[in-house]
A and B are shown apart, each in its own frame.
Chain A
Amino acid sequence: MNLSFFDQFMSPSLLGIPLVLISMLFPTLLFPSPNNRWISNRYSTIQLWFLNLTTKQLLTPLNKKGHKWALILTSLMTFLLTINLLGLLPYTFTPTTQLSMNMALAFPLWLATLLTGLRNQPSASLGHLLPEGTPTPLIPALILIETTSLLIRPLALGVRLTANLTAGHLLIQLISTATTTLLPIMPMVSILTVIILLLLTILEVAVAMIQAYVFVLLLSLYLQENI
């Protein structure tokens, strides 16, 4: 019945052994450790170039204390990017479509930024709850609103990633089903749908990359406020 549309998001298992761990560990095979040569192979060179690019981009706004977060932010970015892009291959499983995994990534990291801020500069962290220059009658309502927006951040981080990827995969499956069903009936409409499918696939590649970047960027922003 209609259950098969969501079957692609079921956690894969072989004879009862969960395979999601292999899906999560597969990206480590794709990133060999760089060797100490002056000029290494093309693959390592491209990876190092990309890592330098993203690290500079993410860490320029942070102050010196924030540079301690460089490794976890960069590795998180690479992890999410690889997993999202690998999920676009046929028959593969994307662990980031599972809300449990995204919440497990978002919640502890957000909490870490919050606790860092509260521990090192408590009054400044609490001061972020009230934007400057608000009219006095609005202050109580605004504090409530800002607290709510603070507490909803981990939920937003996790759900944003899950929803974007799940929606993209579902759309691809739906449109491709429409294409194959229409092919014997109305070939011209089927060709139109194929064009839509191609454009959607390009969009999905872009979304996969952007969502990983947005996740890490927002975390670094929360860190900037608090460190």
Chain B
Amino acid sequence: LPRAVLLKDMKLMDVKLGQLPSWVAMRDFTPGGIAGAFRRGYDRYYNKYINVKKGGLGGISMVLAGYVVLSYIWSYSHIKHDRRRKYH
């Protein structure tokens, strides 16, 4: 039986849909809070895929693939002019 937790401390998966706007409003949006969110995300990924006894190539490959996708998104507006060009 889960104990009753304050709304602002609940994890995202436990928040009901109706409570979602108030949950988002209660999150910490200060620079320290945003940095903390990035740090937590980084630690989650690091401890799950890299900081393991027998880590493989997958951990770093996912990061590099994400970087490639991100670079594509950033350069899309520039590259889309080359789609139907005859001479590149």
**Residues of chain A whose beta carbon lies under 8 Å from any beta carbon of chain B:** 1, 4-5, 7, 10, 12, 14, 19, 26, 29-30, 32, 35, 40-43, 86, 89-93, 177
Measured CB to CB, the closest approach of chain B to A39, in angstroms, equals 9
- Quick check: is B64 within 8 A (CB to CB) of the other chain? yes
Are A91 and B55 in contact, with the CB atoms below 8 A? no
A208 to chain B, nearest CB (A): 15
The main secondary structure of chain B at its interface with chain A is helix
- Known A-B contacts A10-B78, A86-B67; the reply to A43 vs B88 at CB < 8 A is no
Minimum Cβ distance to chain A for residue B83 (Å) = 12
- Given A4-B82, A91-B75, A43:B64 Cβ within 8 A: no
Q: Are B88 and A89 closer than 8 Å at their CB atoms? A: no
Q: A-B pairs with CB below 8 Å: how many? A: 55
Bound-state Cα–Cα, A12 to B78, Å: 9
Least CB distance, A89 to chain B, in whole angstroms? 5
Is B20 positioned at the interface, with any CB of A under 8 Å from its CB?
A: no
B51 partner, pick from A7, A41, A91, beta carbons under 8 A: A41
User: Which applies to chain A's interface (DSSP): helix, strand, loop or mixed?
Assistant: loop
Neighbouring B residues of A91 by C-beta, 8 Å: 68, 71-72, 75
A209 to B: closest C-beta gap in Å: 17
B33 lies within 8 A of chain A by Cβ:
no
Assess A43 versus B60: contact at CB under 8 Å? Given A4-B82, A4-B85, A4-B88. Answer: yes
A41 contacts B55, C-beta separation under 8 Å: yes
Supply 9 further A-B pairs (C-beta < 8 A) apart from A7-B78, A12-B71, A89-B67: A5-B88, A26-B67, A29-B63, A32-B46, A42-B54, A86-B67, A89-B71, A91-B75, A177-B88
A43 to B78, CA, bound (A): 36
Is B25 interfacial (CB-CB < 8 Å)?
Answer: no
